[in-house]
Amino acid sequence: MFSTRLAQVALSLVSVSGVVLGASAPLRRATTCNGFSELCDKSFGNVSFVGAHDSYAVGTDNLAVNQDYDVTQQLNDGIRMLQLQVHNEDSTLQLCHTSCSLFNGGTLADYLTKVKSWMDSNTEDVLSILIVNIDNVAPSEYATVFESAGLDTLSYSPSSSPLAATDWPTLGEMIDGGTRLVTFLDNQADTTSVSYLIDEFSNIWETAYDVTDTTFDCEVNRTNGDSSTQMYLINHFLDKILLGSPVPNVDKANETNAESGEGSLGVQVDTCTSQYGRAPNFMLVDFYEYGGGSVFQVAADINGVTYDSSSIATPKDGSSSNSSDSAAPLMHMSGGAPWFALGAALTGAVMIV
């Protein structure tokens, strides 16, 4: 009788607390990470991710855009780093390209709300955001927007910064811990103020951007740390010069995003891997769907997984620069101002990409 009662008490304790004889309940363990079980035990610093360059700059028939599809479709298709350029426009954080009069992609708040919605529906994915803090906005101002979107509670805060590429947790650990969003700020980061806004250039070095020839080199272009131990990012998007400024060269996007061939993503990855003994952690591209998933195949080959390209979006008719090298009247910037009217303004100006 006593033994029966003891068994009932033990079962009751199991059902209420998950504890038997003082043992802790087993922690949740991720079995799929960013779509693959093989990635769960890999360090964040040992995985290669495809990123959308200027991910907010979406549209067609517009020389200031870099993507055909919005952030939700980008994430659905496999993009796992989102690069943003944030401007302080009338005390509101806006996503603009060089200037908000040239291209305004909406508010950071609206964008992050979409990201949060996607993350809520995809709980086994680790995602990065890279913010170009063009107006030197304080971390506390970003924190307000992240908190409003509910992304602060999903954000990873490093125990110290910088972290070497080898010191990051595994994707499985980040998913299990519920801290699946890694956000880098290219300047003004202060982890003592906002712990999850991480300084980019002490943790990541970058190759050159605004490349206008197909020889994408692997030299260190920007860093504030030890490039031998940092993660690194390659800017693999090809531009052409129009009215004195670089604009996306969509005519070459299939070749630029390809697995092999002159100027391809695959060739730059191979070159950098050979030069440094390790593959790039992040690969920023324009119009990622050009190549039919080739950019994701390159990442899959690095990561040792099998990629299925059957569901990726297809290029849209009228993509940004499917045009001649002259500024055509139908090319408009946001707000309806015709591009041909910008000739004087763009000549000699620097397009911040």
219's tokens: 């030299």
Does an H or E element contain 106, and which?
Answer: strand 99-107
Q: What value does the mean pLDDT of the chain take?
A: 87
Confidence band of 352 (pLDDT split at 50, 70, 90): low
For 165, how many CA atoms within 13 A lie in the half-sphere containing its CB? Answer: 21
Indicate if 236 belongs to the active site: no
Indicate if 53 belongs to the active site: yes
Confidence band of 61 (pLDDT split at 50, 70, 90): confident
pLDDT value of position 335: 39
For 56, how many CA atoms within 13 A lie in the half-sphere containing its CB? Answer: 30
In sequence order, the β-bridge partners of residue 328 are none
Lowest mean pLDDT among 2-6, 43-47, 164-168, 301-305: 2-6
Give the Å distances, CA to CA, from 332 to 39, 93, 338, 340.
42, 23, 5, 8
What does the pLDDT average to over 186-192?
97
- 3-state DSSP call for residue 211? strand
Does an H or E element contain 129, and which?
Answer: strand 127-133
CB neighbourhood size of 18 (10 A):
11
> Which letter does DSSP use for residue 215 in this model?
-
Question: Is a pLDDT exceeding 50 seen at residue 195?
Answer: yes
User: Based on the number of CB atoms within 10 Å of its own CB, is 176 exposed (0-12), middle (13-18) or buried (19 or more)?
Assistant: middle
pLDDT value of position 291: 98
Pick the catalytic residue: 53, 87, 236, 332? 53
Pick the catalytic residue: 87, 97, 236, 332? 97
User: Cα 67 vs. chain centroid, distance in angstroms?
Assistant: 13
Confidence band of 348 (pLDDT split at 50, 70, 90): very low
**242 with 210: CB under 8 angstroms?**
no
297's tokens: 């195949």
Please report, rounded to a whole number, the percentage of residues in the chain having pLDDT higher than 90: 78
pLDDT value of position 30: 93
Q: pTM score > 0.85 for this model?
A: yes
CATH class of the domain comprising 43-346: alpha beta
